[in-house]
Homo-oligomer: A and B are copies of this chain.
């Protein structure tokens, strides 16, 4: 069973219909690179299924976020991007000058998740970590 099929199951088990727009959005997220903008996703969806409307893409993204299957991140800017939670888990170091980002894998938050879940009665899905700074190249240049 591929990751995509797992997601399809989640949708159904949560009591939602597995419609064509939802399938295509999930496939696009699974095939595409991480951190796609909504516009990226709309256009990729449109290539596979030209008759899927923009609104449905937004609605599906919303649903996937509510179900904890997709995460939003901004990488320090106002541009929101979407990524599958089950994708390769990683975080970002972001240069706030040039917006360049570096991925890193270190993640010591499993214990924290566990502690928060117990303390506040949450069912925890995942988390986001972004570290901000100025990259080497930008440190010399004028801010």
Contacts and interface: CB of A to CB of B under 8 A. Distances in A.
Contacts of A126: 131-132
Contact of A108 (B96, B108, B127, B139): B108
> How many chain copies?
2
Given A67-B143, A127-B132, A112 B122 contact: no
Majority secondary structure, A binding face: mixed
Interface of A: 14-16, 65-68, 71-74, 76-78, 80, 93, 95-97, 102, 104, 106, 108-109, 112-113, 115-117, 120-136, 139, 142-143
8 contacts: A71-B132, A93-B122, A124-B131, A124-B132, A124-B133, A126-B131, A126-B132, A127-B131
